[in-house]
Chain A
Amino acid sequence: MDEVNVGVLYSRIRTDEKLLLSELRDRGHDVTKIDVRKQTFDLTEAPEAFDGLDLVVDRCMATSRSLYATKFCEQYGVPVVNSAATAETCADKVENSLALAAAGVPTPTTKTAFTTDAAMEIIEEFGYPCVLKPVMGSWGRLMAKIDSKSAAEAILEHKATLGHYEHKVFYVQEFVEKPGRDVRVLAVDGEPVAAMARSGDHWLTNAAKGADTEPFELDDEAKELVEMASDAVGGGLLGVDLMETDGDQTDWNYTVHEVNHTVEFKALNEAVDVDVPAKVVDWLEAKADAYATEDDADAEEAVAEVSD
């Protein structure tokens, strides 16, 4: 593989980014760390930091920055993974659910409302417990498992009174009775790299919440769903989250509750035997190669057009 100049967009270097940087450098690639907090983004002209980059990897921990920075990359014609469209779909839980449902991916029954009264109607219809999630957010924060009408009323009032406008978009989901665990799959363009089960006593089983992790063997159905979910959000380096169901509501034995676009993989790397950063860099190299080939093809086409 030829040397690639990879730009890494970031605002914080987590262990995940360190693993990635280390793997890229060990393979002899040029790495340009781009702290998006220090950049200014012109509408058409790329910042100097983007000069000569073959590929940009968006690792912004702040979703708002990720959304805009990827759009600017695309405006400048700099290949970026994940794409701005994928980021947009994954960053918002409503968009995420819409994309999954449109693609026929089994996903928990979800309804959205814009007022507390309408949200209360949904909650009463779902019954207790059900789940209220912020449309934007991560690491299991601000998630509410609602066990009673009085709890629902209080949470809705708090959100409506204290929250940013996004908290007045009430995203209500059925409570899925999972077997004490859910499954995180890291995938590149729909191809699973590794998977782990995350379990714990708490109803939330995010690794960020301290869940226990262990390797998980994906069956053919899970692999198919990962591919479908990845395609639904536009592909890329993704964290696909599944819950195992008993299959009595759909033809599937899993339901996909979300897809993450700036996926963390430290916990996964520790849980499985697969060298996750190495697999990710394999994929980045292939992407850079594909973009370069695409450029060459475009250039050849342009030359052919001029000749004609």
Chain B
Amino acid sequence: MTTCTECGADVALHDDAEAGEIVDCTTCGAELEVIDVSPPVLEKAPELEEDWGE
């Protein structure tokens, strides 16, 4: 369990969470990037960039 960097609410990560993955805060809806899983560290996810895609 860790906390949302935007609203401070508790955020639980799935067991298979990966660094680099994006999770949503169920309280405020912020997109958060998993920086580390052990211990869990979250940061506000980067904004969408124009060159993102496939």
Binding site for B on A (CB under 8 A): 10-14, 17-18, 21-22, 33, 35, 61-64, 136-139, 141, 164, 239, 260-264
Contacts and interface: CB of A to CB of B under 8 A. Distances in A.
B49 to A, nearest CB: 6
Nearest to B20: A13
Contact of A18 (B18, B49, B54): B18
A13 B19 contact: yes
A63 B51 contact: yes
A137 B33 CA distance: 23
Given A14-B21, A138-B52, A138-B53, 7 more contacts: A17-B18, A33-B19, A35-B19, A61-B54, A137-B53, A141-B53, A263-B54
A13 B18 contact: yes
Contact of A137 (B19, B22, B34, B51): B51
Contacts of A33: 18-20
Contacts of B54: 61, 138-139, 239, 260-264
Contacts of A63: 51-53
Nearest to B51: A63
Interface string B13-27: 000101111100000
A64 B19 contact: no
Contacts of B21: 12-14, 18
Q: Which 8 A-B pairs have the closest CB atoms?
A: A138-B53, A13-B20, A63-B51, A13-B21, A13-B18, A260-B54, A264-B54, A64-B51
B50 interface: yes
B18 A139 contact: no
A14 B52 CA distance: 12
Interface residues of B, number: 14
A138 B50 CA distance: 8
A139 B19 contact: no
B52 A164 contact: no
A308 B34 CA distance: 56
A263 B53 CA distance: 9
Contact of B53 (A17, A18, A139): A139
A61 B53 contact: yes
A213 to B, nearest CB: 15
Nearest to A142: B50
Contacts of A35: 19-20
B49 A62 contact: yes
Interface in B1-54: 16, 18-22, 33-34, 49-54
Contacts of A260: 54
A159 to B, nearest CB: 13
B22 A12 contact: yes
Nearest to B18: A13
Output the residue of B33, B49, B53 with the most chain A CB within 10 A: B53
Nearest to A239: B54
Given A13-B21, A18-B21, A62 B51 contact: yes
A117 B52 CA distance: 29
A237 to B, nearest CB: 11
A168 to B, nearest CB: 14
24 contacts: A12-B22, A12-B33, A13-B18, A13-B20, A13-B22, A13-B34, A18-B16, A33-B18, A35-B19, A35-B20, A61-B54, A63-B52, A63-B53, A137-B50, A137-B51, A137-B53, A138-B54, A139-B52, A141-B50, A141-B53, A260-B54, A261-B54, A262-B53, A264-B54
